[in-house]
Structure 1
Amino acid sequence: MTDRFRAAMTRGPLLLDAAMGTRLVGEQGLRLADDDPALWNLSVPEVIAAIHRRDIAAGAEVLLTNTFGANRNWLSRFGRADEFATINRRAVELARREAGTNGFVVGSISPMAAEAPRSYREQAEVLVDAGVDGLLFETHRLDQAEVALGEVAPSSSVPLLVSLFAWPESPREAVCRLADRGASAVGLNCVVGMKSALRIAESLRQVTGLPLIVKPSVGFPGEVMASPASFAREAAALLALAPVMVGGCCGSNESHVAALRAAWYHGGTGR
């Protein structure tokens, strides 16, 4: 599957899934003060599977594992560090089952691992061994992403994707640094609004031919969310960035995925 994902990623476009954490908070009542989304892989796996299933039904081609905080260092805050491998393996199993034979599964790794860099390597090794098609270091700063790649790239057998929440206005040097350290794709997530995300992605396309990741937020719980229609309004501009992978971050749900999918079809991509 990894070779097939690598080929699909460089050909694009690929439709990513929507947010996991904010749906658990907004829809399921998860309390971040005393719980973590990754723990739900074991406590209520049926909820995680149902969210994956909704994204696939909406047209998502790539599911991110529910493992954003599933590194040993972060899980120690909940007294669950010794279960990190079990939690990651279960997350891959849940996503793989819903993705089916045609979909892809990418392991999500957060910058929380940067506090103990070895956590990057530990989590990556478990996710790869469990069968992910790639790894995504998401919501990172540039320095954190460089640490992550330094820990994982030397022994990785899968594509390494890097998604920052902030890019310099002139991103050429930053992109070169990430590519030199082993990044197979670069992009952004958690930037609020598709228009803002698109501007950043366009600046990245000017300096790299790598596949781009565009996964903006549509808002946060308690705020007015961007509508699925507005989220998909930039479909043509996104396709012009090919190869590109697009999905939704905080506040998004399967409706945003479906709207983008419909816009791509309507745009005559033949997808």
Structure 2
Amino acid sequence: MNPLLSKLHNNLLVADGAVGTILYSEGIDTCPEAYNLTHPEKIERIHRSYIEAGADIIQTNTYGANFEKLKPFGLEHKVKDIHQAAVRIAKRAANDQTFILGTIGGFRGIKQEDLELSSILYHSGIQIDTLVESGVDGLLFETYYDLDELTQVIQETKRKYPELPLIAQFTALNTNYLRDGTPINKALKQIIASGANVVGLNCHHGPHHMQESFSHIELPENAYLSCYPNASLLDLENSEFKYSDNAAYFGEVAKQIVDEGVRIIGGCCGTTPEHIQHIKSAVKDLTPITQKNVIPFEKHSNRTNHTQPNHNLTDKVKSRPTIIVELDTPKHLDTDKFFRNIRQLDEADIDAVTLADNSLATVRISNIAAASIIKQQYDIEPLVHITCRDRNLIGLQSHLLGLSLLGVNEILTITGDPAKVGNLPGASNVYDVNSKGLTEIALRFNQGINTDGDALKVHTNFNIAGAFDPNVRKLDGAVRRLERKSESGMHYFLTQPVYSKAKIKEVYEATKHLDTPLFIGIMPITSYKNALFLHNEVPGIKLSEEVLQKFEAVKDDKAKTKELSMRISKDLIDTVHEYFNGLYLITPFQSVEYTLELANYSKQITTNTNKQEAIL
């Protein structure tokens, strides 16, 4: 049997604590892993301090040394060098009784990552091969949020190195579930089945909540348990984040964690050699347990949200012609005109009104406030845009929960224009997730699961729209992006305004293989100046010289300009209804009279078509 696994058979082992915590306290100005090359003596000193504190196991300073995490520091070409140096440093510090684990951190964190699993396996493979070739005693995979990622990495590593001990640790945002709602106990069993020899948890929680988590975890039959808690919850003191100075307490709770069946116990963020010294002192006379009573936890129980509509927009547009109208909320608090327009759209029997979310990064009245009033006072369905630009993960989730509470189920997820294009260019962009990441959150809410894996207790019923811009040079590339959005779970799409019948047909041919419906955007031109702007300044939109000349000819006559605009728009609507059920009318400059006329025209031609088909 491998020496590390043989030692674990009858013994508890104490691991080291954080490296970054010490380096940051000393004023590090780059990533901790870079110190393997620039300040090896400091890393060696930290390793030695943990060994002197009683650590039986130390880990290489390579947690964040993958290609993606090194890229912001310009060190992505140094992946192998950093790992090789890390093992050399650890070996210099270690004694004959010290085990050295090569550390690999997860790629998929709390934020949405677009990196494909194949790329993750490739980059992880470089780290793994370098660590193994450099002579580590085992591998520690830590801070993995994603079950699929860790499963695949463990399987691939076990295939290549079947005799090497593998320690695999999740980071869970609550005490019972991973962020996808998988019970921690079930996830650990899956990782064991994939080939891990030791499984457990690290980071996010302090010792108290870690003990609570392990009270629900069964003793594995063919593996061991590990636990690396944070020092505590984070606190803010004098504008700086810090962990509690609680090393003695850490040691006391360590005994309780050992009583839950853990055989490797170390520390994560905020822990120091003092914490490890107290752990060693607390557990040195203990022996591993072989039996335990597992405390059952309350499983997810979700009831249905009874605000679910009988027919959402996806169902409607698949069965009949459907009209959506976009109407921006005002930039001021004089809302009389806005709600008069809403009333007219409601009376015109429009299927939904879309409410942009500070479009073009310009401050407007909250669309969730407008949607609330619309739900209370009108029958038209609000379709609320949600941009990832203005809210972090906390705010986005709160926003979604609030919308569900109001009974607003139609949403459009968008990444959002950067702040620099708007009227406050100095404002911060958040972008914790992109539109696909926000869609993932909304879909999990529909399953009754929060992003930390906990139960919402009531399912949401979001019907999720996405944006599609067909006004690009290469439509096939845009369609591939559309396909990925559809695969992420978006239910239907709204396009940017289209000004060419040929483009409408081209979009149909390029997307007809998809089951997700499209609402084709039509926005009337209000003036010759507006036509020039669209033609010259909006990417992808080109009006024909003939159309520009027609608008120029009537530029001084508002009535003739509107007549021309309506004629062109109606011609486009004719083509839309040849190929699509979904019509998305974009109201120009709050001029709802344009939209109402086009909506009425759309209803007339689709009604006449249906009558003719019925006669036939």
1:158 matches 2:177: no
1:194 matches 2:207: yes
Distance 2:12 2:96 in 1: 19
Deviation at 1:128, TM superposition (A): 0.6
Aligned residue number for residue 260 of structure 1: 279
Q: Is the 8 A contact 1:210 1:243 kept in 2?
A: no
Task: Pick closer, same or farther for the CA change 1:104–1:224 going to 2, 3 Å.
Answer: closer
Choose 1 or 2 for highest CA Rg: 2
Distance 1:67 1:224 in 2: 22
Stretch of structure 1 that moved more, 167-176 or 75-84: 167-176
Aligned residue number for residue 107 of structure 2: 112
What does the per-residue CA deviation read over 1:99-158, in whole Å, with 9 as the maximum and x for residues that have no partner?
Answer: 211100001101138943211111001001101111111010123212321332210241
The aligned amino acid for 1:10 is H
Q: Is the 8 A contact 1:12 1:245 kept in 2?
A: no
Distance 1:123 1:108 in 2: 9
Q: Is the 8 A contact 2:231 2:244 kept in 1?
A: yes
1:76 matches 2:80: no
Stretch of structure 1 that moved more, 216-225 or 243-252: 216-225
Distance 2:171 2:23 in 1: 21
Segments of 4+ moved more than 6 angstroms: none
Aligned residue number for residue 132 of structure 1: 136
Q: Which fold has the larger relative contact order, with Cα–Cα distance below 8 Å and residues 6 or more apart in sequence? A: 1
Distance 1:187 1:207 in 2: 11
Q: Is the 8 A contact 1:164 1:189 kept in 2?
A: yes
Aligned residue number for residue 252 of structure 2: 233
Residue 29 of structure 1: which of 27, 30, 39 is its match? 27
Distance 1:223 1:145 in 2: 29
Distance 1:214 1:226 in 2: 20
Aligned residue number for residue 86 of structure 1: 81
Aligned residue number for residue 174 of structure 1: 187
Deviation at 1:208, TM superposition (A): 5.2
The aligned amino acid for 1:263 is A
Give me the TM-score of the superposition, normalised by structure 1.
Answer: 0.89
Aligned residue number for residue 127 of structure 2: 123
Aligned residue number for residue 50 of structure 1: 45
Aligned residue number for residue 148 of structure 1: 153
The aligned amino acid for 1:40 is Y
Deviation at 1:224, TM superposition (A): 4.3
Task: Pick closer, same or farther for the CA change 1:6–1:23 going to 2, 3 Å.
Answer: same
Deviation at 1:83, TM superposition (A): 1.8
Deviation at 1:211, TM superposition (A): 1.1
Deviation at 1:243, TM superposition (A): 5.3
Give the length in aligned residue pairs: 263
Q: Is the 8 A contact 1:19 1:251 kept in 2?
A: yes
The aligned amino acid for 1:49 is E
Amino-acid identity (%): 30
Deviation at 1:259, TM superposition (A): 0.6
